[in-house]
């Protein structure tokens, strides 16, 4: 073999080794909401932190607005490895067979974020994430969005105002029962299709944290919004377990640190984003924003309380009791 050929071969091998060393590990992070929401901003923050802390060894590509996968498909895509990271709402794990997360959907179970964090940042939250492992999924963190409020095209002041209304819900049986307790007709619709469903009258109303309502422009097709803050909506940030455990240990450690910092950031901005959204909705003048009185709020609480009794078995009575113990909520007292 000529010396020149050997030299060219060596150069080629060296270059491809360098190329290989420089090829970043790509993490596709798919989600269904807009980029300018608590989850959207949290995902972007994680992408930036991950690049910084891994010094470019990992590259997080964020796909917002159901651009890659919709509600129904995204968990399957994660299990198959078509994407590596998601942050579905806790109300969307039922179809996967982990219905315990629906404990977060019970109406009025958390008075505020501080109460909620006792669960998400404590042993109950950790035990729930561990339930994903047999499904090939690893839970990394909980990210907040906020508390949901009802909207419709007719005023909502009493529970009776929602009677007979077709209400869009996420795929949670607990939320389904919550809507039935109000006499409304729940319909599961993927997040990406909600605006159109409201616009065309497929459904009459829905429930959302304000950041989701505003960034999807749902307020433009809903005349009335009542700040009931009756239920929580937040996320589990999850990864394909095999992919995660197969990462080089140093990169995985750096990504864990990036996730820790992103969680602090996402949870810090969540309330701010929802406050900004409320201002935006008010300014738009398209929706009347109603703040219920204490008595009106209590009427909603009482009307929805039977959900706690009817759906206790869905998530497990013990789990529900352990959450009540932390939050002080007692449906029997309503």
Nearer to ligand LMR, 146 or 159 (CB): 146
- Reported residue count of the chain is 334
Say how far apart CA 37 and CA 66 lie, in whole Å: 14
Nearer to ligand LMR, 237 or 247 (CB): 237
Instruction: Give the footprint of ligand LMR on residues 125-184 (CB under 6 A).
Output: 145, 170
Q: Does 287 bind ligand LMR (CB under 6 A)?
A: no
Longest dimension (CA), the chain: 92
**Nearest C-alpha neighbor of 247 from the set 10, 54, 48:** 54
Give the 3-state secondary structure of residue 26.
strand
Say how far apart CA 255 and CA 140 lie, in whole Å: 10
Q: Report in angstroms how near the CB of residue 39 gets to ligand LMR at its nearest.
A: 6
Question: Residue 243 corresponds to which tokens in the numbers above?
Answer: 């992919």
Of positions 29, 46, 191, 265, contacts ligand LMR by CB under 6 A: 191
Nearer to ligand LMR, 30 or 254 (CB): 30
Nearer to ligand LMR, 221 or 233 (CB): 233
Q: Report in angstroms how near the CB of residue 266 gets to ligand LMR at its nearest.
A: 12
The site string for ligand LMR over 234-273 (x = CB under 6 A, - otherwise) reads ----------------------------------------
Nearer to ligand LMR, 167 or 304 (CB): 167
Q: For ligand LMR, how many residues bind (rule: CB under 6 A)?
A: 9
Say how far apart CA 228 and CA 30 lie, in whole Å: 30
| CA trace torsion 45, 47, 52, 53 (10° rounding) | 100
Say how far apart CA 15 and CA 80 lie, in whole Å: 32
Nearer to ligand LMR, 254 or 265 (CB): 265
Q: Are strands 58-63 and 85-86 parallel, antiparallel or unpaired?
A: unpaired
Q: Report in angstroms how near the CB of residue 65 gets to ligand LMR at its nearest.
A: 10
Taking only Cα atoms into account, the Rg of the chain, rounded to an integer number of angstroms, comes to 22
Q: Does 216 bind ligand LMR (CB under 6 A)?
A: no
Nearer to ligand LMR, 58 or 197 (CB): 197
Helix (H) or strand (E) holding 235, with range, is strand 224-240
**166 with 48: CB under 8 angstroms?**
no
Q: Report in angstroms how near the CB of residue 32 gets to ligand LMR at its nearest.
A: 5
Q: Does 212 bind ligand LMR (CB under 6 A)?
A: yes
Say how far apart CA 249 and CA 92 lie, in whole Å: 31
Q: Report in angstroms how near the CB of residue 6 gets to ligand LMR at its nearest.
A: 57
Instruction: Give the footprint of ligand LMR on residues 92-121 (CB under 6 A).
Output: none
Say how far apart CA 167 and CA 163 lie, in whole Å: 10
Nearer to ligand LMR, 32 or 311 (CB): 32
Q: Which residue is nearest to ligand LMR (CB)?
A: 89
Give strand ranges (E) for 67-204: 85-86, 137-152, 166-169, 185-188
Instruction: Give the footprint of ligand LMR on residues 11-70 (CB under 6 A).
Output: 32-33, 39
**Nearest C-alpha neighbor of 239 from the set 119, 171, 143, 141:** 141
The site string for ligand LMR over 76-95 (x = CB under 6 A, - otherwise) reads -------------x------
Contact residues toward ligand LMR (CB under 6 A) are: 32-33, 39, 89, 145, 170, 191, 212, 233
């Amino acid at each position: 073999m000529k010396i020149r050929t050997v030299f060219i071969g060596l150069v080629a091998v060296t270059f491809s080794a360098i190329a290989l060393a420089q090829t970043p590990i790509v993490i596709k992070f798919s989600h269904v909401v807009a980029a300018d929401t608590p989850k959207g901003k949290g995902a972007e923050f994680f992408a930036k932190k991950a690049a910084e802390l891994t010094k470019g060894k990992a590259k997080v590509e964020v796909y917002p607005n159901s651009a890659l996968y919709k509600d129904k498909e995204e968990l399957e895509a994660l299990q198959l490895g078509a994407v590596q990271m998601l942050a579905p709402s806790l109300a969307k794990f039922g179809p996967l067979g982990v219905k315990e997360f629906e404990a977060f959907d019970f109406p009025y179970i958390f008075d505020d974020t501080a109460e909620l964090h006792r669960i998400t940042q404590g042993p109950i939250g950790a035990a729930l994430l561990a339930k994903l492992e047999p499904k090939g999924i690893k839970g990394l963190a909980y990210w907040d969005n906020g508390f949901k409020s009802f909207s419709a095209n007719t005023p909502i002041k009493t529970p009776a105002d929602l009677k007979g209304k077709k209400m869009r819900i996420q795929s949670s049986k607990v939320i389904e029962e919550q809507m039935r307790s109000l006499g409304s007709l729940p319909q599961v619709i993927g997040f990406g299709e909600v605006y159109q469903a409201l616009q065309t009258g497929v459904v009459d109303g829905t429930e959302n944290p304000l950041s989701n309502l505003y960034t999807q422009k749902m307020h433009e097709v809903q005349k009335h919004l009542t700040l009931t803050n009756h239920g929580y909506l937040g996320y589990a940030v999850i990864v394909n377990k095999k992919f995660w455990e197969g990462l080089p240990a140093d990169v995985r450690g750096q990504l864990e640190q990036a996730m820790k910092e992103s969680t602090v950031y996402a949870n810090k901005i969540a309330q701010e984003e929802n406050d900004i959204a409320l201002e935006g909705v008010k300014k738009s003048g398209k929706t009347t924003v109603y703040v219920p009185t204490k008595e009106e709020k209590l009427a909603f609480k009482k009307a929805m309380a039977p959900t706690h009794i009817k759906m206790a078995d869905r998530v497990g009575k013990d789990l529900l009791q352990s959450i009540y113990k932390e939050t002080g909520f007692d449906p029997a007292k309503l």
